[in-house]
Amino acid sequence: MLENLTQTEQAILNVIKTVIDPEVEINIVDLGLIYKISHNEADKKIEVVMTLSARGCPVGDVIIQHVETVILDRWTDYSVDVELTWEPEWTPDMITDQGKNFLNM
Amino acid sequence: MKAGLSTKNAPSHLVVLPHYAMGAIAFLIASVLLFFTAKEISLGYGGGKIVSITHILVLGWVTMIIYGALYQLIPVVMEVKLFSEILAYISFVTLNVGTVLMAIHFWNNYIGNSLLIEIGGTLIFVSVFLFAINAGMSAIKSKQRTIENRFIVTSILWLLGTVLFGIFIIVNVSKGLIDISRTDLLKIHVGFGIIGWFMMLVIGVASKLLPMFFIAHKLQRKYLNLSYFFTNGGLLVAIIMFYFLKESYLVLIPIAIVIIGLLFFVKYNYDAYKARLRKKLDVGMKLSVLSFLLLFTTIVFAILSFFKLEVFYTAYGVSLILGFFTSLILGQMYKTLPFIVWLHKYQDKVGKFKIPMPASMYSEKVAELHYYSFIVAIILILIGLILSSIIIIKISAVAFIITAILYCYNTFLIIFHKEKIEDLKK
């Protein structure tokens, strides 16, 4: 899903990599939770579409808030919108190779 | 679009934490009392002291933790806010006072009634009634019509039935309303409470939490639906048949149906275990997996106890309450309490400061130690019961005391966790 990212979008993705899922203890990018990143320089807007590994995840909105915080920390003059989606439903197949290595899958 | 998020619905930590604290203390008290009643337990005699410990465990330990956990989990499972935090506080106080009064009454006087049991019983009824209203009203507000929710709502109905039946037994002792022995009435009471209330609730909550913590997907939910109909249908028929036929072997038919229902629940969670993302289990999940093994021993003892083998009746109760429920609670504490405290302490600090992870808020070493002391304790008490050995039961009680002390240590370490934040640049 995260294909053809611009240089800035890739930089945003790298920043989001600092967000760790407190239960699994790996970053949410390698966990495959980030579906889409878009960066609009003219409107000064960053949009992230992401999911969680389970509905009702007890730390769900902390993770979302964390994503907003780390992006705003770097792109201070932007507005950041993190959208939570359940479509498509997250599955372990979405974990990156690096994530799979960490989890010994 | 934030449907499915539960953090904003979470109640104040002050509602939840006292339940975990008092539950841990009740477990410790019950373990100490176990040591001093080894002789009575070895005789398989359900005297007052045993009934007293049973009430401390069932009400002060299991019910207390279930209340606390559910106040936190209702927003997770049902995606709604808890109906009332004030009702939760009142329910907490009445459960505590009621449990103490009932435990003192049974310790001193098993046969007759007393003011203590009347006040204690009333307080427990008030507590349960308020809890049922709170959980029930939350469920009504929920748009989630999942099978896990249905289990939880059904468990609340069984809980009301349990308490009403308990009060009926107390009234029947003095008024003699129906001609059925107190022992038989107690067996129905236990059926309502253990299978109806605890098991339905455990199935509903565990089937939501365990796959979530295992991070297992694409599970066959038909097993949960089958489990729901088999356990509830079987239990209802078993209670009615037991009332009319007493311990006729015909009652084994609905009991077998309940057991099949439990096996469907085990199958669902076994599939989640097999499909789990993290192959290495932390201590919380190891204890949870252990609880399923203890559910098997419980089923075996339940079947054996039906064949007039009284010793197995006590073993069945011990395996269920001190084995299955206790193991599940010991384990799931590590999967819930650290997150509750972590959210309270660090929710507004994520991304701004370097903060600890929930798993670092307790001692993993202490948790591992009480995992092993618990295994020793439960194996020894079951052997001690079967062999009617006072000394083995006493040694097992020591292992339970060690388990409880270590568990209390970690529980209070988490509850009184001091905020640790560092500058991100460091």
DSSP per residue over B90-102, as a string? HHHHHHHHHHHHH
Q: Which residues in chain A have Cβ-Cβ distances shorter than 8 Å to B2?
A: 61, 64, 84
Q: Is residue B378 part of a domain?
A: no
Interhelix angle for B283-306 vs B252-274, to 10°? 160
State how far the Cα of A51 lies from the Cα of A60, in Å rounded to an integer: 9
| Contacts A–B by Cβ distance under 8 A | 101
Question: For residue B116, is it within any domain?
Answer: yes
Q: Count the domains in chain B.
A: 1
pLDDT tier at A89 (50, 70, 90 boundaries)?
confident
How distant is the Cα of B213 from the closest Cα of chain A, in angstroms? 8
Tens of pLDDT along B134-153? 998 988 888 777 888 889 88
Q: Is residue B319 part of a domain?
A: no
- At what angle are helices B390-415 and B326-346 packed, to 10 degrees? 10
**Quick check: B183 pLDDT over 90?**
no
B231 within a domain of the structure (yes/no): no
Closest CA to B157 of B214, B210, B196: B196
Evaluate if residue B4 carries a pLDDT over 50.
Answer: no
* Number of other residues whose CB lies within 10 A of the CB of residue A36: 14
Contacts of B294 (CB under 8 A, 6+ apart): B319, B323, B324, B327, B378
Out of A56, A59, A62, name the one closest to residue B79 (CB).
Answer: A56
**CATH number of the domain at A7-91, please?**
3.30.300.130
Residues of B in contact with A57 (CB under 8 A): 4-6, 212
Mean pLDDT of the B232-254 span: 82
Q: Does residue B69 surpass a pLDDT of 60? A: yes
Distances (CA, A) of B387 to B85, B321, B382: 48, 20, 9
Pick from A99, A94, A87: nearest CA to A32: A94
- Whether the upstream peptide bond of residue A88 has omega within 30° of 0, thus cis, is yes
pLDDT tens digit sequence for A11-54: 999 999 989 887 777 899 999 999 999 999 899 999 999 998 88
Question: Taking 80 as the threshold, does the pLDDT of residue B126 lie above it?
Answer: yes
Using the Cβ of A41 and the Cβ atoms of chain B, whether some distance falls under 8 Å is answered with: no
Name which of A23, A54, A69 is nearest B352 (Cβ-Cβ).
A69
The stretch A73-93 carries a mean pLDDT of 89
- The three-state secondary structure class of A27 is strand
| ipTM for this model | 0.74
Collect all residues of chain B within an 8 Å Cβ-Cβ radius of residue A20.
Answer: 357
E strands, chain A, in order: 34-40, 45-50, 79-84
**What's the average model confidence in pLDDT over B12-28?**
96
Interface membership of B189 toward A (CB under 8 Å): no
Q: A74 at the B interface (CB within 8 A)?
A: no
